[in-house]
């Protein structure tokens, strides 16, 4: 089972990952440190999910959807390609997952690489590419606190497992 956190940089994903990981006693995957300047991670993502067993419980701070958003922002690449569809079909077929979409209209921490306009653009892209996700919980930091967000995530996770 995968608990996946997605959203623009600086909106609070890692903070939530760390708090939920501690409360649920599930490790955050060390699969890699996300680098928005690197090209898309499709091959590594597919290998990663194919190695998971049915009993694994893993938290991911970003996954394929961030690859797509950053590739679109960085180079305006087409982002719904066959590689993405293959990863998503393996996820849908093989794994139960909860995607936590973290959003905010402003950065919660200073981010030197992106502007508020970039954030608005990224939010729009995430909304678009995540529109067909079945098990998604949206955390909107404009409307809730970190404590209430952590409780909502834990409750949704327990319903999934």
For the cut 90, the answer to whether the pLDDT of residue 138 exceeds it is yes
User: Which of 4-8, 38-42, 117-121 tops mean pLDDT?
Assistant: 4-8
Question: Which of 139, 52, 63 is CA-nearest to residue 96?
Answer: 52
2, 60 Cβ separation under 8 angstroms? yes
Among the residues of the chain, which ranges form H helices? 13-24, 42-51, 64-75, 82-94, 116-129, 146-160
Q: What is the dihedral of CA 63, 3, 13, 115, to 10 degrees?
A: 30
pLDDT at residue 67, as a whole number: 76
d(CA 39, CA 41): 6
Is the pTM higher than 0.95? The answer reads: no
User: Where does the pLDDT of residue 156 fall: very low under 50, low under 70, confident under 90, or very high at 90 and above?
Assistant: very high
pLDDT at residue 78, as a whole number: 60
Residues 55-110 have pLDDT tens digits of 888 898 888 788 778 777 777 666 556 666 667 776 766 567 888 999 888 776 66
3-state SS record for 40-68: CCHHHHHHHHHHCCCCCCEEEECCHHHHH
Question: Which of 100, 98, 106 is CA-nearest to residue 138?
Answer: 100
Strand, coil or helix: 99: strand
* Chain-centroid distance, C-alpha 96: 15
d(CA 44, CA 23): 28
pLDDT at residue 52, as a whole number: 78
């Amino acid at each position: 089972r995968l608990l996946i956190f997605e959203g623009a940089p600086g909106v609070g994903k890692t903070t939530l990952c760390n708090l939920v990981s501690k409360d649920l006693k599930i490790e955050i995957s060390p699969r890699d440190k996300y680098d928005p300047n690197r090209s898309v991670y499709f091959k590594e993502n597919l290998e990663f999910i194919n190695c998971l067993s049915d009993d694994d419980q893993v938290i991911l701070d970003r996954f394929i959807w961030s690859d797509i958003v950053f590739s679109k922002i960085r180079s305006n690449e087409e982002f719904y390609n066959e590689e993405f569809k293959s990863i998503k079909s393996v996820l849908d077929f093989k794994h139960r997952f909860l995607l936590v979409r973290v959003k905010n209209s402003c950065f919660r921490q200073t981010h030197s690489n992106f502007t508020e306009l970039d954030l608005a653009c990224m939010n729009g892209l995430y909304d678009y590419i995540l529109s067909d996700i079945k098990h998604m919980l949206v955390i909107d930091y404009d409307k809730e606190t970190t404590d209430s967000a952590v409780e909502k995530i834990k409750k949704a996770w327990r319903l999934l497992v």
